[in-house]
Chains A and B, each alone.
Chain A
Amino acid sequence: MRKDWVMEAEPRIGVYICHCGVNIAANVDVEQVAQFAATLPGVVVSRNYLYMCSDPGQGLIQQDIQQHGLNRVVVASCSPRMHEPTFRGAAQQVGMNPYLVEMANIREQCSWVHSNREQATEKAKALVASTVAKAAQLEPLEEREVGVTPGAVVIGGGIAGMCAALDVADAGFPVYLVEQSDRLGGRLKDLNCTFPTLEPVAGLLGPLIERIQNHPQVTVFLDSRVTGVEGYVGNFEVQVTPALTPDPSPPPHSPPPAGGQGGGEVVQSTNIEVGSIIVATGYDVFDPHRKPELGYGQYANVITSLEMEQRLLEGSVAVDGRQPERVAFIKCVGSRDVQIGNPYCSRVCCMVTAKQARLVRELLPESDVTVFFMDVRTFGKGAEEFYDEARGKGVLYRRGNVSEIYRRGERVVLAGEDTLQGRSFEFEADLVVLAVGMEARSDVGELSTLLKLPRSADGFFLELHPKLRPVDTAVNGVFLAGCCQGPKDIVDTVAQAKAAAASALIPLIRGTVPAESATAVVEPELCAGCGMCVEVCPFGAPALDPLWGVSRINYVLCKGCGTCAVTCPSKAIRLQHFTASQILAQVDALVEW
């Protein structure tokens, strides 16, 4: 549809009131609303239907567009976050510009939050009236696409990063893997073996690392960090900087390196252009010094689960040269603890403890091995069976979270209550293993700022939707894999890594990404070049043209929030699809209601 044809013609609006089963219809008289809508100016067709988002529902819209020559569509149903793409797509299929479709939310904003049917119906009518008023002023907008640079950067060389990198590379795209330490393998390489199969970690990691190092499409940057990110989905420019390793004996009369950095070596950053970024930076381990009542750091026989892994790898759990007779495991250290600030469960510790407890029993069959727990969460495939086997091999599980540890002679005493017996105990042990939890990495603040990635309350990176978009982020083109998004075991890490790779591949394979058209546009004749829009934009979308001195908005970065439009003192900025005249029409309709 040509824009001038649409704008010159009289609005011919189709209104569709959705029942949404009983979600809307139970609280709103949808038939009444549909009848009312038919009386509104510009409305040519008004219907109500059970599920507008269904195929027959969409078919109704498409039929009416063709048969009644509709040039605007209003769907009164759920939140646009649910089905705006659905209805836009339906319109597009029959040749109508998708931006001529608008939605009135009479579910989340009406039927779901009010109980008085009469009042809810009146409110629904008001919402529809205001949306119809806006619809009359809608303009067709240009649908745009942006080209995509083929390639991806993966930040983090642990198992998540490597699995994600391999899938993208196998699909035929160049992958740049950035790892801040001097070797690949992440935290996994410090572990002994993994549950439930008890296969050695070296067997898991070895082949992966080899494939990464030999893959023609993969470039690995060790000892490097991401120090800059510019651009947007499909067109990122990522700056990778190697860690500074000062030359101990700089040559005499050498000029100081550029950038004012100390040391004798000049650090060269690399700029990489890619279409997608995958963040796989992993986690930190809880420091049990923060729970001083457990005596970690004070007693040599209180260690963490990671230190136990090391000992199991070395094949000996001796304390001061003697084999321990009584070994105790304490779970939930630094997890499920509101006071410490980690209210969440770290997910892996129950299995780690079962694994280590079982291995200790196998290593020292004469030893007493006891696990003190609040709950047992062995949930994965083969995990419950593994827990059964651990107990079968003589690991005793006692319910009661240990409250404090003190010394008695050579041993330590665990003070707690066996909640199933209902009795306090003082349990003497030679070796105590604290199952420490996972935490968000303390050094991700920088990366979070660079990528503009939001984090959830527990500090881990925030996924876009916990159920439906587990690897996407609020930033298009940036994906999450592994524990940087939240504690998880290897099984879930690998699954998520492959999911992130698949999502990252979508723009790469398509070669273009659609750009949302409801973005802000500057009228250059009105722009005074004051730069206020540049200052207030949270996304860095506007920029002053160096030659013309007026602001231009990058439509790919623009999220259509409208901040610049209301800030502009010259009223030079127009937010498409939310223009002043459209919004005022909505307000007028509501005020006259």
Chain B
Amino acid sequence: MTSQGLLKTEAMVEQLELMGCIQCGKCTGGCPVARKTELNIRSLIYQMLVEPELDVDTHPELWDCTCCFTCVERCPKDVRPADLIIGLRGQLVESGRVPDTIGDALMGIFRQGNPTGIAREDRAAWAKGMEIKAAQEGCEVLFFVGCTPAYDPRVQGVTRALVRAFAAAGLDFGTLGTEESCCGNEVRRMGEAGLFEMLVEENGELIRSVGASRLVAPSPHCFNTFKNEYNLDGIQVLHYTQLVAELIEQGRLKLTQEVKKTVTYHDPCFLGKQNHIFDEPRAVLKAIPGLKLVEMDRSRERSLCCEGGGGRMWAEGTNLQERLAFQRVREAAETGAEILAVACPFCLLTLEDAVKVQGLDHSLQVMDIMELVDLALG
């Protein structure tokens, strides 16, 4: 790529097999942000196909993609349109042309192992006062906490709720403490392939050395990359809703306290659309006594992305149209639900933000499934 940001398209077209595209429009048609930004993935693919060069700099909308992968799910020809966005972002990253805040997040991950830039030594601060085994001593289930569940004050409550539930169920689990680094799922999607490879190697080695047979992650983003992009053969990778549903079914987790609320559930993209896990979260909610579950119209495969993925959590000043999260919480309110349940730290933060800004917090509360389980455990 020249210093003017001109990418020769041929190599990437071949590498990503873009010739398979018939320009049907399902990708852009299903893209949640296409209606509010300049991002048109079908058109980008077409330009890659017909033009010998692409000026990547003239496409700042590349940073608007949330990597929800709806385009990948819908494509009838098995082309992976989102991979093109990630590839083009990689070009921008290589030449240092990234939005400031995203650059900061990447630098934080590189230096301190997490995007907030807070010191690595504080990564286990959320566990203060709790007795948790160090996974390095050996355990059956490796509980990979993740950056946001570790550092974000709102989400730390969810992490603690998970620990309480695991302990109540008598699960043999441990965490990696301050040795844990960012899983890299968002790093990869922000285009920093080099950093991602480094994280895969380091984390992978660390995880394998623990010798656990199962790995559980509270964030669907961590879950996604461990399951699909790391090489963790022999280790069963789970999202926490899968493990909690199993513990409830086995009778190891007893939900006795009533939670008499009407709840609607928002399917996170990285859990639902991409990994087809729709039923376990609902099973957990239905196991809570007194809880009434209602469905939004756009549920499961058509769940509306909260816009937290693809590095959007650290993107400032781009894509300033109304956040999708605002529309989503209105959809939730329409069901008459009192609680909007989520299973992802990014969804939790963006949807709660949307509730507050729109002044809906008197009638609608955003809670993680684990927080509801915590109430039911008493």
Selected from A293, A332, A399, A426, the residue in CB contact (under 8 A) with B74 is A293
Interface check A374, CB cutoff 8 A: yes
State A374–B297 Cα separation when bound (angstroms).
Answer: 27
Interface check A416, CB cutoff 8 A: yes
Question: Distance in Å from the Cβ of B19 to the closest Cβ of chain A?
Answer: 14
Interface check B29, CB cutoff 8 A: yes
Neighbouring A residues of B29 by C-beta, 8 Å? 400-404, 415-417, 424
The 7 residue pairs across chains A and B that have the minimum distance between CB atoms: A403-B30, A416-B29, A403-B29, A400-B25, A417-B28, A417-B25, A417-B29
B residues touching A (Cβ–Cβ < 8 Å)? 22-31, 34-35, 40, 42-43, 70, 73-78, 297-298, 300-302
A374 touches B22 (CB 8 A): yes
Question: Distance in Å from the Cβ of A541 to the closest Cβ of chain B?
Answer: 43
A419 touches B25 (CB 8 A): yes
Question: Distance in Å from the Cβ of B359 to the closest Cβ of chain A?
Answer: 23
B297 touches A407 (CB 8 A): yes
Neighbouring A residues of B78 by C-beta, 8 Å? 338-339
Question: Distance in Å from the Cβ of A76 to the closest Cβ of chain B?
Answer: 40
Neighbouring B residues of A402 by C-beta, 8 Å? 26, 29
Question: Distance in Å from the Cβ of B329 to the closest Cβ of chain A?
Answer: 16
Given contacts A400-B29, A402-B29, A419-B25, contact A424 B302 (CB under 8 A): no
B30 touches A404 (CB 8 A): yes
When each residue 83-124 of chain A gets 1 if its CB lies under 8 Å from chain B and 0 otherwise, what string results? 000000000000000000000000000000000000000000
B302 touches A404 (CB 8 A): yes
Interface check A406, CB cutoff 8 A: yes
State A477–B255 Cα separation when bound (angstroms).
Answer: 67
B75 (CB) vs chain A CBs: closest residue = A339
Neighbouring A residues of B298 by C-beta, 8 Å? 406
State A406–B334 Cα separation when bound (angstroms).
Answer: 14
Interface check A422, CB cutoff 8 A: yes
Question: Distance in Å from the Cβ of B18 to the closest Cβ of chain A?
Answer: 15
Neighbouring B residues of A182 by C-beta, 8 Å? none
Interface check A368, CB cutoff 8 A: no
A419 touches B35 (CB 8 A): no
Given contacts A293-B301, A403-B70, contact A416 B75 (CB under 8 A): no
A293 (CB) vs chain B CBs: closest residue = B301
Selected from B25, B76, B301, B302, the residue in CB contact (under 8 A) with A338 is B76
State A415–B298 Cα separation when bound (angstroms).
Answer: 12
Selected from A292, A339, A375, A422, the residue in CB contact (under 8 A) with B43 is A422
State A400–B297 Cα separation when bound (angstroms).
Answer: 23
Question: Distance in Å from the Cβ of A147 to the closest Cβ of chain B?
Answer: 52
Question: Distance in Å from the Cβ of A400 to the closest Cβ of chain B?
Answer: 4
State A292–B303 Cα separation when bound (angstroms).
Answer: 12
A416 (CB) vs chain B CBs: closest residue = B29
Interface check A336, CB cutoff 8 A: yes
B32 (CB) vs chain A CBs: closest residue = A415
B297 (CB) vs chain A CBs: closest residue = A407
B24 touches A400 (CB 8 A): yes
Apart from the given pairs A416-B30, A422-B40, 20 other A-B contacts in the complex at a CB distance below 8 Å: A292-B301, A338-B77, A339-B73, A339-B76, A340-B76, A375-B22, A402-B29, A403-B26, A403-B29, A404-B30, A404-B74, A406-B302, A416-B29, A417-B27, A417-B34, A417-B42, A418-B25, A419-B28, A424-B31, A426-B35
Neighbouring B residues of A407 by C-beta, 8 Å? 297
B331 (CB) vs chain A CBs: closest residue = A406
Interface check A337, CB cutoff 8 A: yes
Question: Distance in Å from the Cβ of A98 to the closest Cβ of chain B?
Answer: 49
Neighbouring B residues of A292 by C-beta, 8 Å? 300-302
State A337–B75 Cα separation when bound (angstroms).
Answer: 8
State A403–B42 Cα separation when bound (angstroms).
Answer: 13
B273 (CB) vs chain A CBs: closest residue = A293
A401 touches B302 (CB 8 A): no
Neighbouring A residues of B74 by C-beta, 8 Å? 293, 403-404
B23 (CB) vs chain A CBs: closest residue = A419
State A403–B78 Cα separation when bound (angstroms).
Answer: 15
Neighbouring B residues of A340 by C-beta, 8 Å? 76
B31 (CB) vs chain A CBs: closest residue = A424
Of the listed residues A295, A338, A375, A399, the one surrounded by the most CB atoms of chain B closer than 10 A to its CB is A338
State A295–B300 Cα separation when bound (angstroms).
Answer: 11
Question: Distance in Å from the Cβ of B3 to the closest Cβ of chain A?
Answer: 30
Given contacts A374-B22, A401-B76, A403-B70, contact A293 B302 (CB under 8 A): yes
Name 17 A/B residue pairs within 8 A (Cβ), A-sorted. Answer: A293-B30, A332-B76, A399-B25, A400-B25, A401-B26, A403-B25, A403-B26, A403-B29, A403-B70, A404-B30, A406-B298, A407-B297, A416-B29, A416-B30, A417-B25, A424-B31, A426-B35
Neighbouring B residues of A426 by C-beta, 8 Å? 35
State A73–B4 Cα separation when bound (angstroms).
Answer: 71
Given contacts A422-B40, A424-B31, A424-B35, contact A416 B302 (CB under 8 A): no
State A399–B24 Cα separation when bound (angstroms).
Answer: 8
